[in-house]
Amino acid sequence: MECLTLKKSNCKNCYKCIRHCPVKSIRFSGNQAYIIGNECVMCGQCFVVCPQNAKQIVDETEKVKVLLQSGDPVVVSLAPSFIANYDGVGIDAMRKAIKELGFYDVEETAIGATIIKREYDRICREEERDIIITSCCHSVNLLIQKHFPKLLPYLADVLSPMQAHCKSIKERIPNAKTVFIGPCVAKKDEAEHYEGFVDAVLTFDELTNWFKAENVIPEAKPDSNGNSKARFFPVTGGILKTMELNVPRFNYIAVDGIENCIASLKEIENGNLHNCFIEMSACTGSCVGGPVMEKFHRSPIKDRISVINYAGSNDFPVDQPDSTQLHKPFEIIRQKSSDPSESEIRETLHQMGKTKPSDELNCGSCGYNTCREKAIAILRGKAEISMCLPFLKEKAENLSDIISRNTPNGLIVLNEKLEVQQINKAALKIMNLRTPSDILGDQVVRVLDPKDFLAVLSNGAALHGKHEYLAEYGKYVEKTIIYDREYKLIVGILRDVTEEETQREKKENISRQTVEIADKVVDKQMRIVQEIASLLGETAAETKIALTKLKESIGNE
């Protein structure tokens, strides 16, 4: 099951998801973003930051409704961060509200957390391990499995609290089906991958929408339970707070936030850390900073206080299973992409317009930290050259400059104050200017009559093909003026038609001279015809008509 999906019609190529993806597991192709499954760690950051809501978490509400219709008891394992998501609503009120939806019962996942923290204490006491990384966070597990496979021996091979609790429910309640509800998208993937523990996973958002559809309102009624120390789990350092921490050789450390987790894993990989027990959470603030919490209910300090105030000082009473029953194997998840050669990277950088180190701006607009990373992503089929903003800008400017320099028409661009912002060589030639600096920034009135520019600016209607004689330059031009409201610029296009006007005048002179000659010829011929006609006694009417038509024909030429 793909836990995170994409609404293609919503994607607007802002590249925000790739900028915030810690492992760059997003591929862009055909102006669309795609999540790369075997690289994604399910941290949900793309879902959180997407401004167009193009990323969506797969909704399992209908799947859960089918479980409810099966007739088997369906029990909810409710993540301890619920107290932060549902302000002031205790477990008793949540149990009552959720049971109204048809569930058999509701228990706290913190019960499973109690089991797991005791197993962590046992491992620290009894096993000779250099470094232990908690495996409660599925995103951290995926991060190690996919991107730091050499560190798998350091990952605690223990069930997550969700799995331990749902396993306990199934053992205690015959034929029970289990549904985990929490703030995490990664738990959907964990439930799907490790079968037999959790039958479905809902986010708090899915539960809230279900409440609304059924007109169920959880009562803001707090409760207390002194035997609930494991409720600390969803805040940074919460796992450590529940443990005994009595093994002197270990440094007990809490790391939250996926970037900090990656940095810590690199330190371990480089051999810089030893004798550490590390509580590692992908979300900043741990589970109370989960993707669904952050998207819809982001109050990090208030949420932490809610969890701390709700937690008790003693453990839940649980029957601790044998360690073998809590064992969880982790396998390496291989990457499909291969490392390109240095020559391939250099060639791709060259295609991006990065021909020398100074061209590599590393601006991050494409989502990658460096131009080199972007080039590698292109070679792996994850990115496109067009994703580079400086490259596109330079390409557009170069294309614009080529057109401007090579067009025979004069181009002059003004702002709304009628100050010259840009002028090409053809316009300079028309107005007898040497360089653009002679006029840039000055009022257009210095070189042209501003009347037409003002008219276009005031009424917004473009002026097309107006013929005008520029007496001060001795040139005829065909003038077109356009106003761009979006960019607040006035563009003047001046086509030099002086040569055409000169040729037209020459042609008119030739035609006029031809008509004059024709008139003289006609007059002379008429006199001759009249003399002949008088001699022959014939009328000259027909001849006159024919010659008149000849004259008109020449005149039209």
How far apart, in Å, are the Cα atoms of 411 and each of 38, 429, 449, 480, 495?
Answer: 53, 11, 15, 10, 9
In sequence order, what are the beta bridge partners of 374? none
Report, in this order, helix, strand and coil percent for the chain, each rounded to 5. 45, 15, 35
The predicted-structure confidence for 17-30, as pLDDT tens digits, reads as follows 888 899 998 887 77
The predicted-structure confidence for 35-53, as pLDDT tens digits, reads as follows 888 899 999 888 888 888 8
The predicted-structure confidence for 374-412, as pLDDT tens digits, reads as follows 888 888 877 777 777 666 666 666 666 777 778 889 999
Instruction: Report whether pLDDT(521) > 80.
Output: no
Instruction: Report whether pLDDT(91) > 90.
Output: yes
Residue whose structure tokens are 């978490």: 57
Q: At 26, which amino acid appears?
A: I
How far apart, in Å, are the Cα atoms of 86 and each of 60, 112, 187, 198, 276?
Answer: 20, 21, 20, 23, 35
The predicted-structure confidence for 338-360, as pLDDT tens digits, reads as follows 778 888 888 888 888 788 887 77
Give me the percent of the chain exceeding a pLDDT of 70.
91
pLDDT tier, 502 (very low <50, low <70, confident <90, very high otherwise)? confident
Instruction: Report whether pLDDT(493) > 60.
Output: yes
Q: What pLDDT does residue 63 have?
A: 96
Q: Which of 259, 56, 54, 83 is nearest to 181 (CA)?
A: 83
Check for a shared fold between 1-58 and 409-496. Answer: no
Residue 161 corresponds to which tokens in the numbers above?
A: 């609290």
Q: At the fourth CATH level, which superfamily is domain 409-496?
A: PAS domain (3.30.450.20)
Q: Which fold has domain 1-58?
A: Alpha-Beta Plaits (3.30.70)
pLDDT-wise least confident of 22-36, 160-174, 453-467, 504-518: 504-518
pTM value surpassing 0.85: no
Cα Rg of the chain (Å, integer): 40
pLDDT-wise least confident of 136-140, 490-494, 537-541: 537-541
User: Over the range 349-384, which residues count as b (16 or more CB within 10 Å of their CB) and which as e?
Assistant: beebbbeeeeebeeebbbbbeebbbbbbbbbbebbb
Q: DSSP 3-state assignment of 254? A: strand
How far apart, in Å, are the Cα atoms of 271 and each of 98, 131, 232, 266?
Answer: 48, 11, 31, 9
Q: What pLDDT does residue 370 have?
A: 86
Q: At 31, which amino acid appears?
A: N
Residues contacting 449, CB < 8 A, separation 6+: none
The widest CA-to-CA distance across the chain, in whole angstroms, is: 148
Q: DSSP 3-state assignment of 279? A: strand
Please tell me the distance from the alpha carbon of residue 203 to that of residue 191, in angstroms, as a whole number: 13
Q: What pLDDT does residue 90 have?
A: 95
Mean pLDDT of 524-530: 76
Please tell me the distance from the alpha carbon of residue 84 to that of residue 305, in angstroms, as a whole number: 8
- Helices assigned H by DSSP within 148-201: 161-172, 186-193
The predicted-structure confidence for 105-125, as pLDDT tens digits, reads as follows 999 999 999 999 999 999 999
Instruction: Report whether pLDDT(554) > 70.
Output: no
Q: Is 526 exposed, middle or buried (0-12, 13-18, 19+ CB in 10 A)?
A: middle
Mean pLDDT of 87-97: 95
More confident call, 400 vs 443: 443
Mean pLDDT of 421-431: 92
Instruction: Report whether pLDDT(537) > 70.
Output: no
* CB 252 within 8 Å of CB 240: yes
- Helices assigned H by DSSP within 352-424: 371-379, 389-406
In the chain, domain spans: 1-58, 59-320, 342-374+382-406, 409-496, 510-556
Residue whose structure tokens are 């206080």: 305
Give me the percent of the chain exceeding a pLDDT of 90.
60
Q: Which of 46-60, 141-155, 419-433 has the highest mean pLDDT?
A: 141-155
